[in-house]
Structure 1
Amino acid sequence: MNRTIKVAAVGAAGVLALTGLTGCGGDEDENNVSVVGFSVLESAYDDLFTAFGDTDEGDGISFNGPSYGASGEQSRGVADGQPADLVHFSLEPDMTRLVDAGIVAEDWKDNDSTGICSQSVVVMIVKKDNPKDIQGWQDLVRDDVSIVTPNPASSGSAKWNLLAAYGSVIADNGSDEDAKTYMQEFFQHVAALPDSGRDATTAFTSGTGDVLLSYENEAILARQGGQDFDYVVPDTTLLIENPCAVTEDAENADAAQAFLDFEKSAAGQEVLAADGYRPLESAGASAVTVEGATNPDDPFPAPTTLLTVDGDFGGWAEADDAYFNDGEDGEPVGVIAEIQSQFGTS
């Protein structure tokens, strides 16, 4: 039986320009956990902070002034000295940067969720009633379609989107050359490359483009906040897995770990599900009714083909280098980065 979780309504403006939330009780100088996360995580963490504060483990723990932004920029900020007890990024390379810097432990993935706290899939956000009948990846390169997707130079969301596009060709029995040709066509249709997933949503809802590539949870959150658009889960898409960890020098490591444990629990994943994230299998979360989903009673339909970075791209260490890497001289050498640069959209 589905259990409806009530989530406080967020105004449309708030969906697009959310601000940091207050803590969950307790003196702000005691057990105040500093959180650094990727941009589209903000609203879900607001709800998680509140839910955690209602537990015995969360009593007296606060979260004043969490920082959210484009995943790559957030990771570089922590590497450069920004305080963080807990980090939650869009993709693994942003965590690897902190492992290499000695800020996150090398064994951060050695747990039941392999270091993942939240997950989603890549979807296509379209105008209300989908007037151009955009259903799949080939529709994106039609003459009458323009695309909004974040910039992979700063945004983790962008890399998920672009790998999903590339992988869709391979999944349809295409070759790497076919996929490269498709991506060349793809970038000819890109109307905007904002810095983050949240900025991309703002651009699309302000009138740019015919389709926005985004996280499924971002589409659901915006609809919960009153945005009047639809979204399509394509037959072939990519599983988005967002990593999280407590830092090695966390000032409030015990409090940060307690929150992380709650986030990965069934109760925590049910809160995330209500905000549009697909629950982790390891959590054993109950089914929930999700307002804003295309079908609230069946909010997370299974795509025909669900690609994964580990299974289809050799893992993030290999994929980031092969598709997005810049060489020592700053010139793009990754397959997608090189194609992107050809169209002046680096």
Structure 2
Amino acid sequence: MTDTTAPSRRWRLLAVVLVTIALATACSNPTSGAGSADAAEGTVSLSVLAFTSSAAGWNASVPAFSDTDAGEGVTVKTTYGPSSGVAQAVLDGTPADVVYLADQPNMDRLAQQKKVDPDWASGRYRGQPFGSIASLVVRKGNPLQIRSWADLLHPGVEVLAANPILSGSGKWGLMAGYASASSGGRDPQAGIDYLNKLILEHINVGPTTVQEALDLFLAGRGDVLIAPENSALDAERHSPDVEQVVPPQTLRIDNQVAVVSTSAHRDKATSLVEYLYTPQAQRLWAEAGFRPAVPEVAREFATAFPKPQTLWTIDDLGGWDALDPKFYDPENGIITRIFDEATS
């Protein structure tokens, strides 16, 4: 039978299936050492749903939280998936106490449905305990001399990137390329032209998460991987065959955390979130490759995180409220349509 479904419709149906599979797989494989799914009698069990590439930070900080007064009698189970899948799971009623997402639009979806408090970003750090920057991973020695976002358009360069419709981290990577090509949003058409060429001629579409894209890259696929700095640093630590490149112009990545409003243990969930802003947790996440939000800890790790010549923010480009529908609307978003063309 011939499939007469429109390409864009087929692609979005596939996206829903991939999100469901990815999150279900993560649920069945909670991170080792991050708490038990079955709390012992007299203890409280918290469930954290988080984007996949945040695992290193949770692995480092959850045991330390358990050793604090606030964490006494608390076990924590972590479950990972692409941000869109994590958000959808919470919307569908998956039990959760804390949610940690790679991008604000998915957190806003939860706030709109009262799954997290509408003032989740009202604190000093706007619900963003850690951050990163958009960077590149290349083969050891950088044989193609990839230095900037423009270099990804050189003839024959094969680029790996997480699917931005599913992955919040994938969104950040493409928006960083847009930021560079558009001079921080001042020339939007130049940025759109860049994305067209990058996606249609250089990117291999497919991996649901940055971790999946990284696994493919480490297995020998592609010349360049677009990844958040924390994933790039993790790749360098675990493989002698790759290295990170920090483009001179790139985009700051902001990740969001919130207590789920339906949590049965909101007091303990709030304690866990508050712990993330303590110097101890900030240092542990910094050692795992995430940029601390607390200024005094950020200064301690200043030499560990290079400062690009230009570091734009998403607000410099117009903010997620404007950018998400413009680029990622399910029917008419610029990047959605480019991906539909790439996969049709």
TM-score (norm 2): 0.86
Alpha-carbon separation, structure 2, partners of 1:124 and 1:55: 37
Matches within 5 A, 1:117-132: 117-132=129-144
Structure 2 CA distance for partners of 1:285 and 1:173, relative to 1, 3 Å: closer
Q: Residues 98-119 of structure 1, C-alpha deviation per residue, up to 9 Å, x if partnerless?
A: 1111110101011011111220
Structure 1 stretches of 5 or more lacking a match? 1-17, 289-296, 328-332
> Which has a greater percent of helix?
2
What's the C-alpha RMSD, in Å, of the aligned pairs? 2.0
CA contact (8 A) 2:136 2:244 kept: yes
Q: Distance in 2 between matches of 1:247 and 1:268?
A: 21
Any residues of structure 2 matched to 1:45-194 within 5 Å, and which?
A: 45-64=58-77, 66-171=78-183, 175-187=187-199, 188-194=201-207
In structure 2, C-alpha distance between the alignment counterparts of 1:214 and 1:101, rounded to whole Å: 30
Name the counterpart of 1:343: 342
The 1:308/1:57 distance shift into structure 2, 3 A limit, reads same
Unpaired segments of 5 or more residues in structure 2? 1-28
- 1:263, distance to aligned residue in structure 2 (A): 0.7
Count of residue pairs brought into register by the alignment: 313
- 1:240 is matched with which residue? 253
- The separation in 2 between residues aligned to 1:40 and 1:73, in whole angstroms, is 14
Whether 1:259 and 2:272 are equivalent positions in the alignment is: yes
1:216 maps to: 229
Q: What's the offset of the Cα at 1:136?
A: 0.3
Q: Describe the shift of the 1:302–1:128 C-alpha distance in structure 2 as closer, same or farther (beyond 3 A).
A: same
3-state SS of paired residue (1:144): coil
For residue 321 of structure 2, what is the aligned residue in structure 1?
317
Seq. identity, %: 31
Provide closer, same or farther for how the CA distance between residues 45 and 172 of structure 1 changes in structure 2, counting only shifts above 3 A. Answer: closer
Give CA-to-partner distance per residue, 1:285-317, whole Å, 9 cap, x none: 5624xxxxxxxx82211111111112x222212
Q: Deviation string for 1:251-287 (max 9, x for gaps)? A: 1111111111111122211110000001104564562
Residues 48/59 of structure 1: CA separation in 2 closer, same or farther (3 Å cut): same
Between the aligned partners of 2:206 and 2:317, the Cα distance in structure 1 is 23
Separation of aligned partners in 2, 1:33 and 1:342: 42
> Is the CA contact 1:150–1:157 (under 8 Å) kept in the aligned structure 2?
yes
* Distance in 2 separating the partners of 1:29 and 1:67: 23
How does the TM-score come out when normalised to structure 1?
0.85
Contact kept, 8 Å, 1:112 with 1:282, in 2: the verdict is no
How big is each residue's C-alpha offset from its partner over 1:99-145, in whole Å with a ceiling of 9 and x where there is no partner?
Answer: 11111010101101111122000001000111111000111000131
Once residues 197 and 335 of structure 1 are traced to their aligned partners in structure 2, the CA distance between those partners, rounded to angstroms, is 21
What amino acid is the match of 1:228? D
Alignment of 1:43 onto 2:56: yes
One-letter code of the match for 2:319?
G
